[in-house]
A and B are shown apart, each in its own frame.
Chain A
Amino acid sequence: MPRRRSLATREALTGLLLVLPALIALGMFIYRPLVDTFFLAFSDWNMVRSERTYIGLANFQEMAGSATIRRAVVNTGWYVVWLVGLLIVFPLFVSAGFTVIGRRARRFFSGVIFAPMVVSLGIASILWLWIYNPISGLSGAIWRELGWTPVSWLSNPATVLGAIALIVAWKAFGYNMMLFIAGMGTIPRELIDAARVDGADGPRLWRYIVLPLLAPTVVFVLFATLAMATEYVFTPIHVLTGGGPTDASTNIVFEIWRQAFRWFRVGYASAIALVVFAVFLTITVVQMLGSERVVSYEER
């Protein structure tokens, strides 16, 4: 018996030793900054001054009353709406279309649709600037050709958020579609055939067979999309609009960055970051608890 335990101990030690490098890296680059952020959230600091002033909850109070933060949160919500439409609903339809076309066409189109994924968001933003430019860009030329007045996509508060979302969607679309196609590939053929025999037509086949079985993929993509709506959109915002016009395109991550690195309010930015972290932690926990129910292949 004691021999066994010592073996277990030895194994545990070896295991610990093996994960140690990863733990150190995680600790240094993820958890330590997280702890720092926590303390910074209660202080006033500009990152270069030697003293940090403890100010209690003042940062959080300011955040609660800030119209800019409210705007950034609402915008982040709109980015989610746009990107769920462009990156979940739309790719689902397209991948459904993929199931009915020939293999060669499928290969061609998946290459074409996936291509933007390899372009960096910074480059993609500049590329889209040439499309959006209403004076000398592609959209301007098309609009004029159709006899319409070209739209200032990036300078009009009504269009800018959608225009930014579209750039991110353009890039990530192919990736999400691949995920959906792969997910559909795992649905057993017999199930679909059986449903057909039972008289399930297109929409009902989707509602009762394909979508439930695709649920794990959809949930995964949904979370990736949430991350895009908060993080990915930062790059096009930064490159193209700076959050404008009049905060119409800002989002919560851009606001954190702007407070910390443009206005040098690192403490305040940390407080916002901490709240965002708490919100995402809650979402993740809820998702983990709930996922077992949604992502089940049985019952239903």
Chain B
Amino acid sequence: MRFVALVVAALIATAHAQVTIEYWHINSATFGAQAVTQAVAAFEAEHPDIRVIERFQEGSYGGLLTNLQAAIAAGRPPAVAQIGYNFRLFAFNELPHVPIDTFSDRDDYAAFIDAFIPGMLRLGTDEAGVLRAVPFAVSVPMLYYNADLFREAGLDPDAPPATWAEVREAAKTIREATGRFGIGIQISNSNNWVPQGLIESNGGEILDAEGRIAVDGPEVVEVYEFWQALALEDGTLPVVTDAEQEQAFLAGQLGMYIRTSASLANYTAQSNFDMRTAMFPTWGDKPRSIPSGGNALFVFASDPAEQQAAFEFMSFLVSREGQTIWVRDTGYLPVADGVADDPAFLADFFAENPLIAPAVEQLPDAVAWLPLPGERGFEAEQALIGAREAILNGAPVAETLTRTAAQMRELLGQ
């Protein structure tokens, strides 16, 4: 009798204490899944009262958002989900979420806020200054290169190109000496992440200061003319899908590849050549400006206990311990202040992995990844993608961009 009572009491106690939350992420087996599993295990060990079910979502941030939309419509959203920075305006305005400010009455809130690298929280803050999401993953595009091909072509692998003019020359040399393609640039058929970096580093803008579409500006035309010249004039840039460029680079068939730093851990494991990295090239002396890719964590839980559990979980993910797991197994950059120099956490990792150094070094040049505003913003984004595709297939650059700009302005109601 006493035993039964004990068991019942224990059951009631666990039933009370156990909170289960769902966490949606885009980290596939080759893109950080291990880091997610590890972080969840470490978190659950520290918080036996919270169980985290992590669910991978197909199709990157767009795919996750599609599924999230359906889950919200069905009334069963996950407690926490990664929202790509390019979708944050949409999420701020359209998705019913729990702003992070809501948790400000917690005792640990001030410490939570203070732990971030200064300025980082901007990525989760709306125009009115309300902190709505937790900046979690930050990546920047950088230059990956095949040092073996550099040597084969007679280039110095210790002096990688720093400007686009140098990239062009190196790519030509590689093409002539080895017959391989020289340079690939990460592209997507749903966003303009790297193109934004190329444009803004050249002093151009997708949206000008007044928020008007400016992709017909001379600096933008210059960027796309250069891109087209690499592909069609020099024949050093293959006009292929991004998956094909990636296959080619990892197979040792592509000399240089502009790609997110978040692929570093995977590429290091998969490449069987002397792979190295360098900073995102600049246009001559113009300052570098690169969009920070990645995602912020949004809370969608409606149950108060789940909301608090979600906050605990997010606090862990951005803590020094959580960040150490995350950065180590991905190539994302830390959002927590000091963790990179802390010998108890990432200092050794950064010292032993010089390949991540260029990404860290150019972090001060990172700017917000620009979502286009308005209901038709995604379509405007697609128009610019279409322009790139047309240009790389030989369409006249200035004309194409003029037409695209008009189309984008119409979509944004300008």
Contact = CB atoms under 8 A, between A and B. Distances in A.
Q: How large is the interface on A (under 10, 10 to 19, 20 to 34, 35 or more residues)?
A: 20 to 34
B241 interface: yes
Given A242-B189, A245-B390, A136 B251 contact: yes
Contact of B248 (A135, A262, A264): A135
Interface string A236-263: 0000111111110000000000000111
B190 A246 contact: no
B392 interface: yes
B62 A129 contact: no
Contacts of A133: 240, 244, 247-248
Contact of B247 (A136, A155, A264, A265): A136
Given A264-B69, A264-B90, A244 B254 contact: no
Contacts of A262: 62, 66, 190, 378
A129 B254 CA distance: 17
The A interface, classified by DSSP as helix, strand, loop or mixed, is loop
A243 B251 CA distance: 27
B90 to A, nearest CB: 7
Interface stretch (A42-50, A103-111, A211-219, A273-281): A42-50
A24 to B, nearest CB: 19
Contacts of B244: 129, 132-137, 152, 154-155
A135 B253 contact: yes
Given A133-B248, A244-B386, A261 B239 contact: no
A31 interface: no
B389 A246 contact: yes
B96 interface: yes
22 contacts: A46-B375, A48-B69, A48-B72, A48-B95, A129-B243, A130-B247, A134-B240, A135-B238, A136-B247, A136-B251, A137-B247, A152-B240, A154-B241, A155-B240, A155-B244, A157-B393, A244-B385, A246-B389, A247-B386, A262-B66, A262-B190, A263-B376
Contact of A241 (B241, B390, B393): B241
Ranked nearest first, the 3 interchain pairs of A and B with the lowest CB-CB distance are: A242-B189, A245-B389, A135-B248
A241 B190 CA distance: 10
Given A245-B389, A263-B379, A46 B241 contact: no
B94 interface: yes
B253 to A, nearest CB: 5
Contacts of B247: 129-130, 133, 135-137
A265 B379 CA distance: 11
A156 interface: yes
Nearest to B190: A242
Interface in B104-134: none
Q: How large is the interface on B (under 10, 10 to 19, 20 to 34, 35 or more residues)?
A: 35 or more
Given A135-B244, A154-B240, A261-B66, A246 B390 contact: yes
A265 B70 CA distance: 13
A155 B244 CA distance: 10
Contacts of A155: 239-241, 244, 389, 392-393
B181 interface: yes
Contact of A246 (B240, B241, B378, B386): B386
Nearest to B251: A136
Contact of B73 (A48, A136, A244): A48
A49 to B, nearest CB: 6
Given A136-B248, A246-B389, A47 B253 contact: no
Contacts of A243: 189
Contacts of B72: 48
Interface string A27-47: 000000000000000000011
Contacts of A134: 238, 240, 244
Nearest to A154: B241
A47 to B, nearest CB: 5
A48 B75 CA distance: 10
Contacts of B73: 47-48
Nearest to A133: B244
A237 to B, nearest CB: 10
Contacts of A48: 69, 72-73, 94-96
